[in-house]
Amino acid sequence: MDKKIRCLFGTDGVRDVANKGVMIPEMVLRLARAYALFLAERGVPRPKIAIGTDTRLSCQMLQCALEAGFMSAGADVMLLGVMPTAGVSFAVRHYNATGGAVISASHNPAEYNGIKFFDRNGVKLSDDDEASIEEYLGDSMLDEWRPTGASIGRARDAFGAMEVYVKHMLSKAVALSLSEYKIVIDCANGAMIEPARLVFSALNPKDMVFLGDEPNGININEGVGVMCIDTARDAVIRECADFAVAFDGDGDRVLFVDRKGRVIDGDVIIWVLAKWLKKRGKLGGGVVITMMSNMALEEHLKEEGITVYRCPVGDRYVYETMQRSDSMLGGEQSGHIIVKEHVQTGDGLCTSLMFLQACKELNLDIGELVDEFSPYPQMLKNVKVSNKEKALSHPDFLRSLRECEDIIKGKGRIFVRPSGTEPMVRILLEAKGVDLKSIVEKLASDIQKIDEELKNKVV
């Protein structure tokens, strides 16, 4: 069976500059109707859909459109308010909803926004399901299907949803105390502010310093959070803290900073969690990582006798691979991590609690983990490109890539991929004993040159 082609959906839902392109209210309303019709034609005559948002100014506008689209298609709506992506996933299951939607552009700047959909299990939709929704957008039935009277959907506020999510998170950390630590928590001016404050306060830290906890609608991810980890790093040094926890705008990613100001990325967190879960007999078939994970992680896991599976970038691809391999842990270097016993999508708060609990039980010093992990030197460069796919498949670029691969043969690897959410090509190089910068700059220059030629080419 041929795989369906998606045009609208990317790596993590539909995303664009808010009020431009595909993120205009008219398009979001049609997208909502298409999702409701998708559910109805699969045996759910009156879907119940939970909606959560991050703190962007444009969320209110897009929520109105999404809400109207759902109700006009006969779906009932539960409004969760500002809620981390994983909180929406949890709410779908907790309230027995048919599906869910998150209005967020995650780690992107405030001018962007997006829509991510969940199924009734709180799992992000598959590529095929997203392609099916796109098909409904072009189907005349979408415009003809107009419930009337009592069949029109209703909306209600889900009061107390945040408290339920926080209580659920605390139930995962009943034996965890942070009384010996002074900690910095960076919430990226996003959706994790309230739950992080409530959960970490309940764990009784010696002292707590909050950053990125004053959202104004246009400062999400701006100079704070995982996208600007230097802010947390500087705060750790300035405050003489034991470590920092940094989230992104929708709270599905988390990174740590140790007391020496060094970043503990998703690879190190996965390494610690894998050892912990194996010791507890809860690792399942192995660990799923993406093509972006450092080679050192794979080597460390294999030394522990742990099977490693690699998959494309994106936490839903991680989850799908976990399902196929019966793995209970998977994630990305960027901090999207899924501990399947507890969550169905990346949850920065759950990950941070599990990581801290693992360090306690394994008697690991958070300040020494980076030294013990000893990653391959790695360089990641984002190159702005208009014609991503054409540039990467161009013969001149493929020739340049082969030349660079010959230089690092046996010493490391190069991974080049188009961004699923931005007009970018991402170049990752990791190797020992080579000049990373010169190789990456050559590839970046070649891509830009080819892209410029493609733009100027007269068709």
- Altogether, the residues listed in the chain come to a count of 459
Q: Provide the angle, in degrees to the nearest 10, between the axes of the packed helices 59-72 and 25-40.
A: 40
- What is the residue-wise DSSP string for 139-185? -THHHH----GGGS--EEE-TTHHHHHHHHHHTT-TT---TT-EEEE
- Dist CA 137 CA 308 (whole Å): 39
- What is the residue-wise DSSP string for 24-42? SHHHHHHHHHHHHHHHHTT
- Dist CA 15 CA 278 (whole Å): 37
106 is catalytic: yes
Q: Which of 58, 89, 104, 106 is catalytic?
A: 106
Contact (CB, 8 A) for 57 and 159: no
- Chain-centre distance for alpha carbon 119: 17
Contact (CB, 8 A) for 172 and 350: yes
Q: Which class for 2: exposed (0-12), middle (13-18), buried (19 or more C-beta within 10 A)?
A: exposed
Show the DSSP H helices in 369-435 as ranges.
369-373, 388-393, 395-407
- Active-site annotation, residues: 106
